[in-house]
């Protein structure tokens, strides 16, 4: 179960689905970060078909230091004399925490309390090598940076939709969007190529420039640059090299797509779809 630092308490239910009572039932938290507490109403004897509730209240400390890619979740262990042991993994996360296969850069703490937080993570590493944006020229119909994508897809903010459209046009291959679609990094299979605004913002005020906002007011509060690269210390192992976004350039989408780097100025730059190889860092949504 995933919780946000100092965020919403989360609820789990323990049910006895067996035919016998669970005798001498005990719940033991192991490794919860300082300030995070467990409360529950589970009795010593839980009758068949009965349930009890566990509430986890997150404190102001994450389970591990942001950026620690060896972090392991805490555990609430469940034991009794008459049932096999069980365990509930618990991760209290903040920006830069490693969770569900990547570095957390967006957090949605408004998901139902009976599940985990939502949000987004960036892959732990860039994909190996440099890659083209697409295997051939031609507009993918995704969007330029200054217009919303067609077919009810917001091209500026919905990288999963952009990626699906690119792959639907070009099929499988060793280009950016398809490589993300095919990735199984961290045991996950729903990776996609992020949008320009998911990657961050640019201090340059010319187009595409401030399309994705400013450091103080980014278009997407949950973006990689604000929440991984700008934090101290930075998380995610990003360097100044350009990484593809899933956006085409509005002026000439047949030929050019857009990429982002971590440099202070002019972070966004165009690149030829089949003549400008760039790095690729995939992202995915958290599973609540």
pLDDT band of residue 111 (cuts 50, 70, 90) is very high
pLDDT band of residue 276 (cuts 50, 70, 90) is confident
- Residue listed under structure tokens 């109403």: 41
Quick one: 57 exposed, middle or buried, by C-beta within 10 A (0-12, 13-18, 19+)?
Answer: middle
> Hey, is 37 helix, strand or coil?
strand
State the chain's mean pLDDT as an integer.
87
* Residue of 168 and 98 predicted with greater confidence: 98
pLDDT given at position 254: 56
pLDDT tens-digit readout, 200-253: 887 765 555 567 888 888 889 999 999 999 888 899 999 888 888 888 776 666
Share above pLDDT 90 across residues of the chain, in percent, rounded to a whole number: 60
pLDDT band of residue 256 (cuts 50, 70, 90) is low
What DSSP letter does each residue of 55-87 carry, written as one string?
A: EEE--SS-SS-TT-TT---EEEEEE-SSS--EE
Please check the confidence at residue 263 and state whether its pLDDT lies above 60: no
Lowest-confidence pick of 7-21, 96-110, 129-143, 233-247: 129-143
* Residue of 259 and 89 predicted with greater confidence: 89
pLDDT tens-digit readout, 13-49: 999 999 999 999 999 999 999 999 999 999 999 999 9
pLDDT given at position 94: 97
Share above pLDDT 70 across residues of the chain, in percent, rounded to a whole number: 85
Q: 208 preceded by cis ω (within 30°)?
A: yes
Average pLDDT of the segment spanning 78-92: 94
* Residue of 79 and 214 predicted with greater confidence: 79
> Nearest to residue 10, comparing CAs of 85, 112, 94, 89?
112
* Residue of 89 and 263 predicted with greater confidence: 89
- Residue listed under structure tokens 């009890």: 52
Please check the confidence at residue 82 and state whether its pLDDT lies above 60: yes
pLDDT given at position 206: 58
Angle at 221 between CA 159 and CA 69, to 5 degrees: 75
Q: Do 179 and 131 form a contact (C-beta atoms < 8 A)? A: yes
> Hey, is 273 helix, strand or coil?
coil
pLDDT given at position 150: 47
Lowest-confidence pick of 166-180, 229-243, 260-274: 260-274
pLDDT given at position 266: 56
pLDDT band of residue 154 (cuts 50, 70, 90) is confident
Please check the confidence at residue 146 and state whether its pLDDT lies above 50: no
pLDDT given at position 143: 54
Average pLDDT of the segment spanning 190-209: 79
Q: What is the pTM of this model?
A: 0.90
pLDDT given at position 104: 98
């Amino acid at each position: 179960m995933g919780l946000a630092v100092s965020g919403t308490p989360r609820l789990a239910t323990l049910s006895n689905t067996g035919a016998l009572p669970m005798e001498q039932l005990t719940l033991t938290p192991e490794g919860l970060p300082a300030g995070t507490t467990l409360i529950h109403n589970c009795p010593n004897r839980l009758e068949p078909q009965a349930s009890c509730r566990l509430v986890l209240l997150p404190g102001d400390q994450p389970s591990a230091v942001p950026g620690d890619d060896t972090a392991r979740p805490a555990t609430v262990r469940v034991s009794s004399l008459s049932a096999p042991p069980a365990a509930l993994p618990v991760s209290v996360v903040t920006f830069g925490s490693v969770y569900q296969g990547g570095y957390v850069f967006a957090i949605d703490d408004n998901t139902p309390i009976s599940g985990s937080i939502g949000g987004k993570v960036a892959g732990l590493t860039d994909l190996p090598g440099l890659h083209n944006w697409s295997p051939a020229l031609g507009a993918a119909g995704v969007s330029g940076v200054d217009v919303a994508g067609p077919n009810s897809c917001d091209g500026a903010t919905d990288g999963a939709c952009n990626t699906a459209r690119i792959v639907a046009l070009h099929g499988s291959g060793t280009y950016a969007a398809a490589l993300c679609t095919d990735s199984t990094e961290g045991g996950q299979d729903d990776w996609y190529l992020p949008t320009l605004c998911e990657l961050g913002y640019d201090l340059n005020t010319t187009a595409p420039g401030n399309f994705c906002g400013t450091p103080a007011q980014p278009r997407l509060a949950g973006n990689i640059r604000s929440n991984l690269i700008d934090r101290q210390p930075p998380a995610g192992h990003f360097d100044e090299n350009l990484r593809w976004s899933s956006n085409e350039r509005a002026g000439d989408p047949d030929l050019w797509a857009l990429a982002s780097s971590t440099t202070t100025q002019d972070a966004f730059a165009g690149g030829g779809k089949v003549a400008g190889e760039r790095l690729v860092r995939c992202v995915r949504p958290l599973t609540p």
